[in-house]
Amino acid sequence: MAFDPRVVRQDFPIFERTIRDGKRLVYLDSGATSQKPNSVIEAESNFYRRHNAAVHRGAHQLAEEATDAYEGARETVAKFLGGRVDEIIFTKGATESLNLLAYAFSNGASDNRFNVTSKDRIVVTEMEHHANLIPWQQLAKRSGAELTWFEVTPEGRLDLSKLAEMITPNTKVVALTHQSNVLGTVNPLAAIVARAHEVGAVVVLDACQSAPHMPVNVKELDVDFLTFSGHKAIGPTGIGVLWGRAELLKDLPPFLFGGSMIETVTMTDATWAPSPRRHEAGVPNMAQAVGLGAALDYLMNIGMDNIYKHEQALGSYLLKRLQEIPDLKLVGPLEMIDRGAVASFTFGDIHPHDLGQYLDSQGIAVRTGHHCAWPLTRKLGVQATTRASLYLYNDEQDVDALIEGILGAQKYFGGK
């Protein structure tokens, strides 16, 4: 069942406001963060209004209600990802999830299966967001492990021609993005996952740009760990998800120590609670978790398949319209095949920052710069790009506004 983005927009109060002297808001920056529907804003604020108490503690009704709401959100996430409830760890965001893993991988006893040492190899890709590069890069530095990466072809795809030579028998971790936040490229996971598992490596998937936009099922993907952030999936900031296979989580050492995550404590030692509690030290971001539950309910109610189809169609339209503009150069795949609805580009001599500023004057919100993927933009030979990213509340009218805005910028800067 298709949905109408204009009807969807009515659920998102931010679209009621105007931008820069009364312009309609054309929000094309969901890759950075998405807008929030009323149901999410209400779920988060109702938690504070009605149910606020520290979860998993306290012998009172509010604590019970808060715990129910928080654990209910965990069930929603499990349903959303097709995983088990005890496999869902709430984090502050995807950045924390990835740091949690990278630190946990060097935090265990010497015989822990995850321990990364100087004999091991860590494999990433050249298209990673800084959040899925730097934690591994620094783990390699701390442990002496070798860091290596799949390169990106001029078409914006991973070069997998040397798959077996890259993922060697001593490879411990393969960390990669499901969908590039700059190129839009959706990576072919099956071959990578098969090779990683053949050598006993774990696959860590950054699903920040995929999980909000397409059906993502951890069983089908067959990865070992997966993370996404709530705020890119119409949920609140300050909440993210780390999913891990139950049989792996039971051996994963903790990263943050403190309350909630223990089993027993003496002055000189401590033992750990089972997952997911082991990885949720301290009082968690409860209202935000509840807000995320509402967000995923909203998305599942529309249907991830419907959202995917909508974005594929709209993404095709965006790519077609952009390529009609002379002097505009897309980075990343030119056709809507194995890619999401995000387009990064350069435009003649107009610097992205100046283009973004002009578009803003027309009410159009885009992202400019290197998009937290500096090694990638360097590889592509561009200083910076302008990025338009689409979501369920965007329609063809938004794409048309962007095109008109880009042509307007040419007149504005060219004519001066």
Buried/exposed 7-30: b ≥16 CB within 10 Å, e otherwise: ebbebbeebeeebeeeeebbbbbb
Report how far apart, in Å, the C-alpha atoms of 145 and of each of 109, 110, 198 are. Answer: 17, 15, 20
Q: Tell me which stretch binds another protein (CB under 8 A): 100-108, 144-152, 280-288, 348-356.
A: 348-356
The structure tokens listed for 367 are 């992202």
Does residue 60 interact with another protein by CB under 8 A?
no
Residues in the chain: 416
* Residues 27, 35 contacting (CB under 8 angstroms): yes
Catalytic residue among 173, 207, 226, 372: 372
Q: Which is nearer to another protein, 131 or 242 (CB)?
A: 131
Q: Tell me which stretch binds another protein (CB under 8 A): 7-15, 37-45, 272-280, 347-355.
A: 347-355
x/- letters, 368..407, toward another protein (CB under 8 A): xxx---x--x-----xx-----------------------
* Residues 286, 304 contacting (CB under 8 angstroms): no
* Residues 311, 335 contacting (CB under 8 angstroms): no
Q: Which is nearer to another protein, 131 or 233 (CB)?
A: 131
x/- letters, 302..341, toward another protein (CB under 8 A): ----------------------------------------
CB of 33 to another protein, least distance (A): 15
Q: Which is nearer to another protein, 42 or 354 (CB)?
A: 354
Q: Which is nearer to another protein, 275 or 346 (CB)?
A: 346
CB of 140 to another protein, least distance (A): 22
Q: Which residues contact 327 (CB under 8 A, 6 or more apart)?
A: 347, 348, 410
Binding another protein (rule: CB under 8 A), the pick from 138, 302, 361, 395 is 361
The bridge status of strand 171-177 relative to strand 121-125 is: parallel
Any idea what the Cα angle at residue 326 is, between residues 323 and 332, rounded to 5°?
40
CB of 38 to another protein, least distance (A): 29
| Known catalytic residue at 208 | no
Closest of 408, 413, 354 to residue 385, by C-alpha: 354
SS3 assignment, position 206 = strand
* Residues 244, 223 contacting (CB under 8 angstroms): no
Q: Which is nearer to another protein, 108 or 369 (CB)?
A: 369
Closest of 95, 167, 163 to residue 133, by C-alpha: 95
Does residue 411 interact with another protein by CB under 8 A?
no
Q: Which is nearer to another protein, 251 or 349 (CB)?
A: 349
Does residue 348 interact with another protein by CB under 8 A?
no
CB of 137 to another protein, least distance (A): 16
Rounded Cα gap, residues 158 and 186, in angstroms:
10
Does residue 20 interact with another protein by CB under 8 A?
yes
Does residue 351 interact with another protein by CB under 8 A?
yes
Does residue 357 interact with another protein by CB under 8 A?
yes
CB of 353 to another protein, least distance (A): 4
Any idea what the Cα angle at residue 176 is, between residues 175 and 181, rounded to 5°?
145
Does residue 416 interact with another protein by CB under 8 A?
yes
Residues annotated as catalytic (active site), given as ranges: 372
The residue ranges that bind another protein (CB under 8 A) are 20-21, 351-354, 357-358, 361, 368-370, 374, 377, 383-384, 412-413, 416
